[in-house]
């Protein structure tokens, strides 16, 4: 996860990802379309799991983000 690899601890347990990420880059890394990545990012922002500070993403609730990733992985059909 980018937050663990490139993140730096901020205030109140936040993790600031110190690399400017575009929705297109996130989509490519996740194997999604840019539109789908944008919709999912918007949902996470509405839930206050992540936010943006200038061009950087901030993870406000790491445990919630990890839970979202686990749920998404369970929905993905296993490869044969």
What is the predicted pLDDT for the residue at 60? 92
45: which residues sit within 8 A by CB, 6+ positions away? 51, 52
Query: Which tens digits make up the pLDDT trace of 28-61?
Result: 998 999 999 999 999 999 999 999 988 899 999 8
Q: Is the pLDDT of residue 80 over 50?
A: no
pTM of the model: 0.76
Helices (H), 47-76: 62-75
Query: Which tens digits make up the pLDDT trace of 5-27?
Result: 878 998 888 999 988 899 999 99
CATH class of 2-75: mainly alpha
């Amino acid at each position: 996860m980018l937050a663990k690899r490139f993140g730096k601890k901020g205030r109140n347990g936040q993790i600031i990802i110190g690399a400017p990420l575009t929705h297109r880059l996130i989509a490519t890394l996740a194997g999604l379309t840019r539109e789908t990545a944008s919709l999912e990012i918007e949902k996470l922002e509405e839930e206050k799991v992540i936010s943006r500070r200038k061009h950087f993403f901030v993870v406000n609730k790491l445990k919630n983000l990890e839970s979202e990733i686990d749920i998404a992985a369970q929905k993905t059909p296993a490869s044969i």
